[in-house]
Amino acid sequence: MTPNRWQGNFAPITTEYDVPAAKLLGELPRELNGTLFRNGPNPQFPAPAAHWFSGDGMLHAFSLGEGRASYRNRWVRTPKWQAEHGAGRSLGSAFTANENGQDRGVANTHVVHHAGHLLALEEAHLPTRIEPHGLETLGYWNGGGALQGPFTAHPKLDPQTGELLFFGYGCDGPLSAGMSYGSIDASGRVTRMERFQAPYASMVHDFIVTQRHALFPILPLTASLARAQRGGPPYAWEPEQGASVGIMRRDGSTAEMRWFRGESCFVFHVMNAWDEGDRIVADVMRFDEPPLFPRPDGTPTDATRGARLWRWTFDLSERSERFGQQPLDDLAGEFPRIDERRTGLAYRHGWYACKAPGESTPGVYHGIAHVDHASGRTVTHWLPDGDAVSEPVFVPRSAEAPEGDGWLLATVYRSAEARSDLAVFNATALEDGAIATVQLSHRVPFGFHGSWVDAAALG
């Protein structure tokens, strides 16, 4: 089974629920006072051949406070969703911004909160603003007209300046090599917007930020409008292109970008990165070959090994344009997260969803891994057979708590009961299992990313 067949917990749900008092097992920590927002593909009118990444976005909100929990889910009512809702059928899908003059945005990949705005994200369109309590869709947010073109699903919040850093790809038109980079300050004002050209057009899902630098991985999952117009895949694996990473100083310009080269691989997600003198160190989830996308002739890639945690190193003091790649662990997994108060800084703790031995289906993960870089240990928590977990999201115990002192929140699919839970773990004691569980009577389909937002920030 592959995700694009919409089977099992990849299948969409058709109901928008309101659960004001969800059933609890165990006791929720009293310090958890806010909402976990999650996003993922949930096509309104599924087509068997549609790619998993192209499904309409659906938001799931678990609100926790005073030891109680509530739940709500809503489709993101994009222009595409509204047009199809009116037609009563699918009007097609695409990986580009528009198709036949129609807006094809799905806002299905991430959801972040910044400067008072809750934003549903995917990488071919502007952010979609969401009302945080009822999850109503408020329309595209363009920063007062300053934002133009695609906006990443993985912006980075600088914990020291409060800036939200972002990029876009395909900025010169669908499947093009044009890219953008910019920043939004803590008040929501767009303070920077620059364009540059990548060495070749590719899918650039995530990027890398340190205190002093921004890095743009251009990896050989190539984009080609000409290939798509011939009936070939819009995105295809071409390892002969090699891997390129552009590095710029955050206080500099994209015109001063320096490009490094390395062995071909693919990375959807970055765990974290930091500056170390004249070196930059980045921890990434590295695939030898990307899942879910073919080669140019349509033959499938071999992604059965899954992604592993690797360390990339860049020495800015040397003339060499090669960057180093070193494996840190052989445990397959994806969806890495950290204590985001350490974004762009040296860090100790990381977490990701991990695969059981023999599991090769993209998007299916049976455990959570905790990496402690100080001790060198990786601790795993495995779910019962048949169950699967989403991306784990870290929530600090308080703003002043030490790094890693807090909880992990993750949705868990209970296959035997065809429903889902929200599980709460002590972030540095996964071996103890969930300390509290919010139980739902329905499924939360496999999705992508989410964010915790404190109640005080939501107003």
Phi-psi group of 214: left, alpha or beta (phi > 0 → left; psi -120 to 50 → alpha; rest → beta): beta
pLDDT tens for 31-55 read: 999 999 999 999 999 777 788 999 9
Determine the 3-state secondary structure of 436 from DSSP.
strand
CA angle centred on 130, ends 124 and 133, rounded to 5°: 155
pLDDT band at 344 (very low <50, low <70, confident <90, very high): very high
How far is residue 64's CA from residue 350's CA, in Å, rounded to a whole number? Answer: 23
Residue 3 has pLDDT above 60, yes or no: no
Neighbours of 416 (CB within 10 A): 9
Q: Report yes or no: 369 and 380 within 8 Å, Cβ to Cβ.
A: yes
Query: Could you tell me which residues come within 8 angstroms of residue 5 by beta carbon, excluding any fewer than 6 positions away?
Result: 48
Q: What separation in angstroms does the CA of 376 have from each of 214, 331, 370?
A: 27, 14, 11
Q: What separation in angstroms does the CA of 13 have from each of 48, 115, 415?
A: 15, 31, 15
pLDDT tens for 154-201 read: 999 999 999 999 999 999 999 999 999 999 999 999 999 999 999 999
Q: What separation in angstroms does the CA of 87 have from each of 34, 106, 393?
A: 37, 17, 37
In terms of Cα–Cα distance, which of 389, 385, 384 is closest to 369? 389
Residue 1 has pLDDT above 50, yes or no: no
Strand-pair category, 208-209 with 213-218: antiparallel
Q: Specify the pLDDT at position 181.
A: 98
Q: What are the φ and ψ backbone dihedral angles of 182, each rounded to 5 degrees?
A: -165, 180
pLDDT tens for 380-419 read: 999 999 999 999 999 999 999 999 999 999 999 999 999 9
pTM of model > 0.95:
yes
Tokens of 337: 């997260």
Query: Could you tell me which residues come within 8 angstroms of residue 154 by beta carbon, excluding any fewer than 6 positions away?
Result: 110, 205, 206, 207, 269, 270, 449
